[in-house]
C-alpha cells in the first residue's frame, strides 16, 4: 500500500510519481531534486475551499500558509485557484508580489515583525496583519497613520489547547512566544487596546493550535473556546468579529502508520459544532478561515537523491550516503521527522536492507532517516524520500556551501522547472 495516490511503480519496477518515472526525472534534471505534483496541490486547495464553503458557509475560505513552500509559482497557483495566502516575512511578501499575487488577500503573521517589514507590507497594500502583541499594535498603527491608511488587523489569541492530549489545559499552550492568552486575561485587554487605535480596523481573531493535528476535536475545542471568548468580548466591548481564523495544522501522512486525514469530514464536524455554539451563545457566526500549509503541499512533494557511499559499520549500522542531506531537508535533524524512503530503481523488490540514510554534510546529525528498510542499495541508485513538499525547500540552507536543488513541477502539461538549481556563482553572489 502506498502512502498517497500519486505514488506507484511501473513495469520496470521503478517508482513513479504522479505517473512520471522518477529515474527518468533524476537523469533529466540531476539530483538532489525536489519534485512537486501540481495537480495534487490544486486538488488539496479545492478540497479545503469546497468543504469550507459547504460546511461553514458565510464566505468561509482557506488561506494557504505559504511558509510551507514559498516560491513564485506556488503563489501563482494559489491565485489561479482563487485562494488567499498567509505570509510571515517581507521576503514572502516580496516573492508573492513578484509572482503577481494580489496581496490584499494576504494575512501577515509573525511574532516580531520589524518596523521595515510593517512599512513594506502597508505600502504594498497587505490585506490583514495578524497582530501578535500590544507593542505591535502600536507600531502598525503608527505606520498606517504615517501612510494615511487604516489597516485591517486580526489579533492572535492563544486559546490554551494542548494538541497532544486534546485537553483544554489552561496553562498548556499559554506559555508561547505567539499571541496573547485568554487564560491570563491578557487577550481581553488586547482587544480593548486594538479598538482604541484610530488607524487600525479590528476584523477578528486568529488562533493556531499546533501542527500534525489528525482529528477535528482540536479544532472543535478551538471553536468552543474562541466563541466563548467572542461572547465575553461582545459583552465587555460590544465588539463582534467579522473573521475567525482557526489557523493551520491539519496532519499529513508521512509514513504508513500515520492515519489519513479526511479533510472534508473534519471540516463538516467543526462546522456543526460552530453552528450549534453560535446558536447557544446568541452570537453572530463569523467568517471562518483556516490556514493549511503542510496538508496542501506535503504529499505533493518528493525528493530524489543519488546513492554514493554504502558503508557497513561492523556490528552497528548500515549507512547509505546520498548527495543531499540536512541542507535540503533539515527536518530529521531538527525534530526527528519521519519519512518514507524508497530505492526508486528497485521499488518492487523486497525491502530487506535496514539502513540509515545520511547526507553529505560534515555533521553527524546530518541524517535524513534512521533505521529504514529499503531494497539493497548500491552506488548510483536513486533514493526517493516521499512527502517532502512542505518545509523542505522552504527550510533549505547553503551549509557547507551546498547549492539548493531545483524544484521541478509535474503537471498534465508536462514537467517544468519552477525554481532553478543554484550554481556556485549563486553561492558567492553576496561575498564581497
Residue 245 grid coordinates: 481564523
Q: Which residues bind ligand PLP (CB under 6 A)?
A: 65, 67-68, 86, 109, 208, 211, 247-250, 291-295, 390
Measured distance CA(336)–CA(407) in Å, rounded: 24
Torsion sign, CA atoms 225, 227, 232, 238: positive
Nearer to ligand PLP, 243 or 390 (CB): 390
203 is known as an active-site residue: no
Residue 109 or 277: which CB sits closer to ligand PLP?
Answer: 109
Alpha carbon separation from 112 to 134, 155, 246 (Å, rounded): 11, 14, 20
Place of cell 506556488: 74
What are the C-alpha distances in Å from 185 to residues 120, 140, 232? 32, 23, 11
- Give the residue with the Cβ less far from ligand PLP, 127 or 403: 127
- Rounded distance between C-alpha atoms, residue 31 and residue 306, angstroms: 6
Report, in Å, the least distance between residue 189 CB and ligand PLP: 22
Query: At its nearest, how many Å lie between ligand PLP and the CB of residue 52?
Result: 14
Query: CB within 8 A of 419, min separation 6: which ones?
Result: 34, 71, 73, 393, 404, 406, 407
Q: Which is nearer to ligand PLP, 211 or 388 (CB)?
A: 211
290 forms bridges with which residues in the sheet?
62
SS3 373: strand
Question: Based on CB atoms, which residue is closest to ligand PLP, 301 or 403?
Answer: 301
- Let me know how long the chain is: 432
Contact status, residue 52 vs residue 288, Cβ threshold 8 Å? yes
Q: Rounded distance, CA 417 to CA 35, Å? A: 9
| Residues in contact with 108: Cβ distance below 8 Å, sequence separation at least 6, in sequence order | 86, 87, 88, 93, 117, 121, 126, 128, 129, 130
C-alpha grid cell, residue 206: 486568529
Residues 304, 251 contacting (CB under 8 angstroms): no
Angle of helix 38-55 relative to helix 263-281, nearest 10 degrees?
A: 30
- The minimum distance between CB 39 and ligand PLP, in angstroms, equals 20
Q: Which is nearer to ligand PLP, 44 or 360 (CB)?
A: 44
Residue 106: enclosing H or E segment and its boundaries? strand 106-108
For the CB of residue 65, give the shortest distance to ligand PLP in the complex, in Å.
3
Q: How far is the CB of 305 from ligand PLP (least distance, A)?
A: 24
Three-state DSSP at 41 gives helix
The pair phi, psi for residue 312, each rounded to 5°, is: -110, 125
Catalytic member of 4, 278, 361, 362: 362
Instruction: List active site positions.
Output: 362
Amino acid at each position: 500500500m502506498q502512502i498517497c495516490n500519486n505514488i506507484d511503480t511501473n513495469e520496470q519496477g521503478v517508482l513513479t510519481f504522479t505517473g512520471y518515472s522518477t529515474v527518468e526525472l533524476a537523469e533529466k534534471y540531476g539530483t538532489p531534486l525536489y519534485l512537486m505534483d501540481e495537480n495534487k496541490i490544486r486538488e488539496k486547495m479545492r478540497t479545503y475551499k469546497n468543504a469550507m464553503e459547504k460546511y461553514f458557509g458565510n464566505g468561509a475560505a482557506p488561506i494557504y500558509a505559504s511558509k510551507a513552500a514559498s516560491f513564485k509559482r506556488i503563489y501563482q497557483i494559489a491565485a489561479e485557484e482563487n485562494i488567499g495566502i498567509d505570509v510571515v516575512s517581507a521576503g514572502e511578501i516580496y516573492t508573492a508580489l513578484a509572482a503577481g499575487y494580489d496581496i490584499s488577500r494576504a494575512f501577515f503573521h509573525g511574532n516580531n515583525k520589524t518596523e521595515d517589514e510593517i512599512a513594506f507590507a502597508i505600502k504594498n497594500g497587505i490585506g490583514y496583519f495578524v497582530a501578535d502583541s500590544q507593542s505591535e499594535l502600536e507600531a502598525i498603527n503608527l505606520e498606517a497613520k504615517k501612510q494615511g491608511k487604516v489597516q485591517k488587523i486580526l489579533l492572535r489569541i492563544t486559546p490554551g489547547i494542548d494538541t497532544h492530549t486534546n485537553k483544554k489545559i489552561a496553562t498548556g499552550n499559554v506559555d508561547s512566544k505567539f499571541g496573547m492568552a485568554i487564560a491570563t486575561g491578557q487577550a481581553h485587554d488586547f482587544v480593548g487596546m486594538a479598538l482604541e487605535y484610530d488607524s487600525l480596523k479590528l476584523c477578528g481573531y486568529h488562533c493556531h493550535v499546533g501542527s500534525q493535528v489528525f482529528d477535528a476535536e482540536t479544532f472543535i475545542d478551538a471553536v468552543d473556546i474562541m466563541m466563548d471568548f467572542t461572547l465575553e468580548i461582545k459583552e465587555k466591548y460590544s465588539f463582534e468579529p467579522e473573521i475567525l481564523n482557526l489557523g493551520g495544522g491539519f496532519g499529513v501522512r508521512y509514513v504508513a502508520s500515520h492515519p489519513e486525514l479526511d479533510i472534508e469530514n473534519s471540516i463538516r464536524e467543526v462546522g456543526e459544532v460552530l453552528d450549534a455554539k453560535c446558536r447557544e451563545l446568541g452570537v453572530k457566526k463569523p467568517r471562518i478561515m483556516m490556514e493549511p500549509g503542510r496538508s496542501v503541499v506535503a504529499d505533493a512533494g518528493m525528493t530524489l537523491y543519488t546513492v554514493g557511499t554504502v558503508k557497513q559499520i561492523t556490528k552497528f549500522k548500515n549507512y547509505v550516503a546520498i548527495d543531499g542531506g540536512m541542507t535540503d531537508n533539515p527536518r530529521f535533524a531538527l525534530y526527528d521527522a519521519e519519512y518514507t524512503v524508497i530505492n526508486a530503481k528497485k521499488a518492487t523488490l523486497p525491502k530487506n536492507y535496514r539502513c540509515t540514510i545520511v547526507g553529505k554534510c560534515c555533521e553527524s546529525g546530518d541524517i535524513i532517516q534512521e533505521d529504514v528498510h529499503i531494497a539493497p542499495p548500491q552506488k548510483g541508485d536513486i533514493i526517493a524520500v516521499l512527502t517532502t513538499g512542505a518545509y523542505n525547500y522552504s527550510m533549505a540552507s547553503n551549509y557547507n556551501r551546498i547549492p539548493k536543488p531545483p524544484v521541478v513541477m509535474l503537471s498534465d502539461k508536462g514537467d517544468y522547472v519552477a525554481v532553478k538549481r543554484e550554481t556556485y556563482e549563486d553561492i558567492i553572489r553576496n561575498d564581497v
